[in-house]
Amino acid sequence: MRDIHEIIARLRTFVRERFNVSESDRDFSDDVHLFDFGYVDSFGAVELMSFVETTFGTEVTGSDLIAYPLNTVREIATFVMKRENGEI
């Protein structure tokens, strides 16, 4: 069973590296809305969900994108944990 902090760290690292988010960016956090604040665009969303699926083995369906908030690093990590635990 994975630790939520491990999932958050891996997601944060991926977003920073893939979408060129500087370590000095004070606005970037685990709770910032990745899309509203322009860190990830619609094409990046596909890459991000693909990363989640391949890295954590967690399927993300179209229904999931509607039913669950998946806009922040923390929300995505929580989704992964709940899916792994069979809660969703």
Q: What is the mean pLDDT of residues 73-85?
A: 96
Q: What is the dihedral of CA 24, 48, 87, 62, to 10 degrees?
A: 140
Domain count, the chain: 1
Residue range 28-38, pLDDT digits in tens:
999 999 999 99
With cut-offs at 50, 70 and 90, classify the pLDDT of residue 1.
low
69-72, Cβ contacts within 8 angstroms, sequence gap of 24 or more: 71/33, 71/34, 71/35, 71/36, 72/30, 72/31, 72/32, 72/33, 72/34
With 70 as the cut, is the pLDDT of residue 83 above it?
yes
Q: What is the mean pLDDT of residues 53-72?
A: 95
With 80 as the cut, is the pLDDT of residue 54 above it?
yes
pTM value is 0.94
CA atoms within 13 A on the CB side of 39: 24
Q: Which domain holds residue 57?
A: 4-20+29-84
Looking at residue 59, which CATH number applies to its domain?
Answer: 1.10.1200.10
